C-alpha cells in the first residue's frame, strides 16, 4: 500500500452553539470559529497511524471550500499529512458534487484507501463517502470502529444499530470512520512550524471538470421547536406520583 487520501471538511467548531438568522436565510457564520470536521480528524489520525506502522505510505489531505480552508489543511499537515490539496470554491458544494470532486482527485492520485468522516457536523448528511464509493465503483466500509490492513484487503469493523459488524473489502476502497476508531493527537507547535513548509496545492472545480448546480434548494432555515422546561420534584415518592398522574406507569 502506498497512498491514503483523507477528505476533510471545514465546519463550524464542535463547541459553537449555532444560531439561526432571524430572516430564516441560514445560520449565523460571521466570526464563528471554524475547525476540521471532528470525524474527518479521526479519519486523518487513522491514516497517520497506518503510515507510522508501515513504511513509505503517503497521506494526502484534500478539501473543497473557501480560500480559508487552507487553515484546516494546515492543521492536517501539522498533524502529519505529507501534502494537501484544496479545491477552492466559494460555492457550497453538495454531497454528490463533493463525491464527484473527490473522484476526480482520486483518479489523479490513485490512492489505495480514501478515508472520510462518517458525516460532517454541519449538514449531518452522511452521504459523501458512500456516493464516492458508488461512482468510483469500489467497496465502501462505513462507520468504522476498527480497521486492519493486509495485502490488498482491509478488514473493517463497523458500528451498526445491532452492535458491531465486520466486513472485508478489496483495495482500493472508501472507509468512513466513526467516533470510537481512535483519539486524534494534539498538534504541537514545532509541527505547526514544519507544516508551513509542506506542499499545499490549490486547484479549482473548473480545473477538475466539475460543474456545480443546485440539486437541493434550501428554502428556509428555522430554529427547532423548543421543549418547555417542566416541573422539578423533591423526592422519589413525588416523582412516582407525577408519573402515575401522567399515566406513564
Partner 1 sequence: MHKVLIIGEHDGKALNPATAKCVTCATNIPDAEITVALLGADTSSVASQAAAITGVKSVLRVDRPENMHPLAAIFAPQAAALAADYTHVFGPSTSFGKDLMPRIAALLGVTQVSDLMAVEAPYRFRRPIYAGNAIVTVEADPTRKLIATVRVASFQAAPGGGQATVDSKTLNVSLPSHTRYVGAKSGSTDRPDLQTAARVVSGGRALGSAENFKLLFGLADKLGAAVGASRAAVDAGYAPNEMQVGQTGKIISPEMYIAIGISGAIQHLTGIKDARTIVAINKDGEAPIFEVADVGLVGDLFQIVPELERLLG
Span 117-136, contacts to partner 1 by CB under 8 A = 118-119, 121-135
Q: Which of residues 158-217 bind partner 1 (CB under 8 A)?
A: 158-170, 173, 178-180, 215-217
CB of 110 to partner 1, least distance (A): 17
Nearest to 118 by CA among 94, 83, 142: 142
Q: CB under 8 A: which stretch of 42-50, 61-69, 201-209, 226-234 binds partner 1?
A: 226-234
Q: How far apart are CA 177 and CA 213, in angstroms?
A: 28
CB of 100 to partner 1, least distance (A): 9
24 Rama class: left (phi>0) / alpha (psi -120 to 50) / beta = left
Using the minimum distance from each CB to partner 1, give the nearer residue, 59 or 144. 144
Using the minimum distance from each CB to partner 1, give the nearer residue, 3 or 138. 138
219 near partner 1 (CB under 8 A): yes
Q: Which of residues 33-72 bind partner 1 (CB under 8 A)?
A: none
* Cα dihedral 115, 121, 122, 124 in deg (nearest 10): 80
CB of 103 to partner 1, least distance (A): 10
Q: How far apart are CA 249 and CA 241, in angstroms?
A: 9
Using the minimum distance from each CB to partner 1, give the nearer residue, 70 or 145. 145
The dihedral built from the CA positions of residue 156, 131, 137 and 161, taken in this order, carries a sign that is: positive
Residue 25 in grid coordinates: 436565510
Using the minimum distance from each CB to partner 1, give the nearer residue, 141 or 195. 141
Q: Which of residues 87-116 bind partner 1 (CB under 8 A)?
A: 94-96, 99
Contact of 99 with 135, CB cutoff 8 Å: yes
CB of 55 to partner 1, least distance (A): 26
Q: How far apart are CA 230 and CA 234, in angstroms?
A: 13
Q: CB under 8 A: which stretch of 58-66, 70-78, 104-112, 157-165 binds partner 1?
A: 157-165
Q: What end-to-end distance do the CA atoms of the chain give, in Å?
A: 58
Report, in angstroms and rounded to the nearest whole number, the Rg of the chain calculated over CA atoms.
Answer: 21
Using the minimum distance from each CB to partner 1, give the nearer residue, 30 or 161. 161
69, 72, 140, 182: which one binds partner 1 (CB under 8 A)? 140
Amino acid at each position: 500500500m502506498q497512498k491514503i487520501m483523507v477528505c476533510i471538511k471545514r465546519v463550524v467548531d464542535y463547541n459553537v452553539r449555532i444560531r439561526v438568522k432571524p430572516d430564516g436565510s441560514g445560520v449565523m457564520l460571521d466570526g464563528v470559529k471554524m475547525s476540521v470536521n471532528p470525524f474527518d480528524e479521526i479519519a486523518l489520525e487513522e491514516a497517520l497511524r497506518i503510515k507510522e506502522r508501515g513504511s513509505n505510505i503517503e497521506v494526502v489531505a484534500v478539501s473543497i471550500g473557501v480560500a480559508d480552508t487552507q487553515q484546516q489543511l494546515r492543521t492536517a499537515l501539522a498533524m502529519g499529512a505529507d501534502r494537501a490539496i484544496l479545491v477552492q470554491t466559494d460555492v457550497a458544494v453538495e454531497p454528490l458534487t463533493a463525491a464527484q470532486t473527490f473522484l476526480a482527485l482520486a483518479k489523479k492520485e490513485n490512492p489505495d484507501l480514501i478515508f472520510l468522516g462518517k458525516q460532517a457536523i454541519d449538514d449531518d448528511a452522511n452521504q459523501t463517502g458512500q456516493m464516492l464509493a458508488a461512482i468510483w465503483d469500489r467497496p465502501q466500509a462505513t462507520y468504522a470502529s476498527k480497521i486492519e490492513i493486509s495485502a490488498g484487503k482491509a478488514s473493517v469493523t463497523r458500528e451498526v444499530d445491532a452492535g458491531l459488524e465486520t466486513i472485508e473489502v478489496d483495495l482500493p476502497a472508501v472507509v468512513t470512520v466513526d467516533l470510537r476508531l481512535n483519539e486524534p493527537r494534539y498538534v504541537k507547535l514545532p509541527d505547526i512550524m514544519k507544516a508551513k513548509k509542506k506542499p499545499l496545492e490549490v486547484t479549482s472545480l473548473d480545473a477538475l471538470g466539475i460543474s456545480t448546480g443546485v440539486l437541493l434548494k434550501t428554502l428556509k432555515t428555522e430554529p427547532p421547536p423548543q421543549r418547555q422546561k417542566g416541573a422539578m420534584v423533591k423526592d422519589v415518592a413525588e416523582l412516582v406520583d407525577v408519573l402515575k398522574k401522567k399515566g406513564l406507569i
